[in-house]
A and B are shown apart, each in its own frame.
Chain A
């Protein structure tokens, strides 16, 4: 059985990872591209924030830099795709690979960087609220709430409309006098900005940054997006935008809880990545599986109608 503190810990982590999942939502859902930069940019955000905290920069300011660093990485991925015509998937892989070295440099050629003595946002709030046990929950939750609301408001500005339309239909966007390439760069930059910010917050939460912390994280982000959507779609066919963002956050927290539960039930921690991959595989195949199911049922219970026979 999971302890109460393990549940709280999972929720805290889930709230931080939700910011990353919102970045994945932006690239994967809004812009319609699978962006693998994430595995690198989350570490960049963590490394930048940890490094800055350790040299005495205010933790909040370090998060802004983490956002900017992630955004740069995303912009580079997008530029590789747009200017050099490298496929989006490969562009992301290239930047992710290159970021490994850069992240090492940021951390002063160390594989990890501990923040034992440096101030972090979590430590600051904890000491500011002496009697309050859940300051970490408060910090993560507050941060996430600000991001969700800000992101939602942005998506409803004129610029936000252009960004959303670019993922839907580039032709229409260019025909409306909008530079679709600029929108793609902006979108991937913002997405990885969120990821970098999540990385920075994560480093401050766990008081260390580590070079390997990004491995497979894009899949975790995707899992959160899909879990949240699947659950919310269970209740309503079409979900308004704000609720879609909330769904992503809920998905992220549920994912963390599920993993914590599995580990407390005896799953070896090393199997976590395999489970994540399986979850995403199943979630992504829901569409085709449904179609197969319909086909099987259709051919078993009824003669194919004219429309199906033609296919």
Chain B
């Protein structure tokens, strides 16, 4: 369903700051996969997502989504197939616009952006109904500006916007890292709920190793721009945080060892 071949990216090539961030990555995701991605600081996790979503151009390699080669498409065109949630809760929504206006923009993904009304009555009703799924009371605050929401509410809203028009691939880059533990848990539960959708793949970066093993059906570990481990099924079920650390000699303060 998603096939990444020979993907490479080097920052500042030919300078003293040369940094090979992705080195010949091969990765294949199957329909419905929910893959958690771990790895130390600077391992290339965000760069992988940025290359897939088109934020930065890859040096070489191809990315196929559902058989479609998206390697050369600009970022906004790839977004038609890809939903994203950033680590920074401020990046996912337009803060000076209302909740329903943000949703309307997300809902218009792939449709024409012309002189039709920004939001219709029918859409408003649909949003209200669907927002209730988040269980955060946002359905009663639809005409409030997003700037009034907490970080967790924004992240939940962004996640909801990312899947409102069903993407082929959902990319989550440490989307709970900026949240307090209780809110992070809530957003992770929502992530599980949305990732259940059978014809969407999810790629979730986390620095919490126990989250990485307890969510999704597959885990990859990145190191130095390469995929150092790729486990699923029984092998993954048998894996514990301790055995992971032992096997890969992980020394990184940012990875939570709980």
Are A and B co-members of a single complex?
yes
- Listed in ascending order, the chain A residues whose CB lies under 8 Å from chain B are 154, 156-162, 164-165, 167-169, 171-180, 238
B84 contacts the other chain (Cβ, under 8 Å)?
A: yes
Q: Which residues of A contact B114 (CB under 8 A)?
A: 157-159
Are A176 and B115 closer than 8 Å at their CB atoms? no
Total interface residues on B, CB under 8 Å, equals 39
B162 contacts the other chain (Cβ, under 8 Å)?
A: yes
Mark the stretch among B96-104, B129-137, B227-235 that contacts chain A. B96-104
Are A176 and B106 closer than 8 Å at their CB atoms? yes
- Listed in ascending order, the chain B residues whose CB lies under 8 Å from chain A are 53, 74-77, 79-80, 83-84, 86, 90-97, 101-102, 104-106, 108-119, 145, 158, 161-162
Are A180 and B96 closer than 8 Å at their CB atoms? no
Q: A233 CB to closest chain B CB, in angstroms?
A: 14
Known: A168-B96, A174-B75. A158 touches B162 (CB 8 A): no
Provide a sorted-by-A list of 24 A–B residue pairs whose CB atoms are within 8 angstroms: A154-B115, A157-B115, A158-B104, A158-B108, A158-B115, A161-B104, A161-B119, A162-B108, A165-B101, A165-B102, A165-B105, A168-B94, A168-B97, A169-B91, A169-B95, A171-B91, A172-B102, A173-B105, A174-B75, A175-B83, A175-B84, A176-B108, A177-B79, A238-B145
Known: A159-B114, A161-B101, A161-B105. A175 touches B162 (CB 8 A): yes
Besides A157-B118, A161-B108, A161-B119, 17 more A-B contacts (Cβ < 8 Å) are A154-B115, A157-B116, A158-B111, A158-B112, A158-B115, A161-B118, A164-B97, A164-B101, A165-B97, A165-B102, A165-B105, A169-B94, A172-B92, A172-B94, A172-B158, A176-B161, A177-B76
Are B79 and A169 closer than 8 Å at their CB atoms? no
Give the top 4 A-B pairs by smallest Cβ distance, nearest first.
A168-B94, A165-B94, A177-B79, A161-B118
Q: B214 CB to closest chain A CB, in angstroms?
A: 27
Are B86 and A179 closer than 8 Å at their CB atoms? no
Are A180 and B76 closer than 8 Å at their CB atoms? yes
What separation, in Å, do the CA atoms of A176 and B105 have in the docked complex?
A: 7
User: What's the count of A-B pairs with C-beta under 8 Å?
Assistant: 93
Q: Which residues of A contact B115 (CB under 8 A)?
A: 154, 157-159
Are B77 and A177 closer than 8 Å at their CB atoms? yes
What separation, in Å, do the CA atoms of A178 and B144 have in the docked complex?
A: 23
Q: Which residues of A contact B145 (CB under 8 A)?
A: 238
What separation, in Å, do the CA atoms of A238 and B144 have in the docked complex?
A: 10
**Contact residue among A159, A161, A175 (Cβ-Cβ distance under 8 Å from B97):** A161
Question: Chain A: which residue is nearest B148 at the CB level?
Answer: A238
Q: B115 CB to closest chain A CB, in angstroms?
A: 5
Are B118 and A176 closer than 8 Å at their CB atoms? no
Q: B22 CB to closest chain A CB, in angstroms?
A: 21
Are B93 and A169 closer than 8 Å at their CB atoms? yes
Are B86 and A164 closer than 8 Å at their CB atoms? no
Q: Which of B74, B76, B92 has the most CB of A within 10 A?
A: B76
What separation, in Å, do the CA atoms of A102 and B25 have in the docked complex?
A: 53
Q: Which residues of B contact A168 (CB under 8 A)?
A: 94-97
Question: Chain B: which residue is nearest A153 at the CB level?
Answer: B115
Question: Chain A: which residue is nearest B101 at the CB level?
Answer: A161
Q: Which residues of A contact B77 (CB under 8 A)?
A: 177
What separation, in Å, do the CA atoms of A174 and B161 have in the docked complex?
A: 13
Q: B170 CB to closest chain A CB, in angstroms?
A: 11
Are A176 and B95 closer than 8 Å at their CB atoms? no
Q: Which residues of B contact A177 (CB under 8 A)?
A: 76-77, 79-80, 109-110
Question: Chain B: which residue is nearest A157 at the CB level?
Answer: B115
Question: Chain B: which residue is nearest A161 at the CB level?
Answer: B118
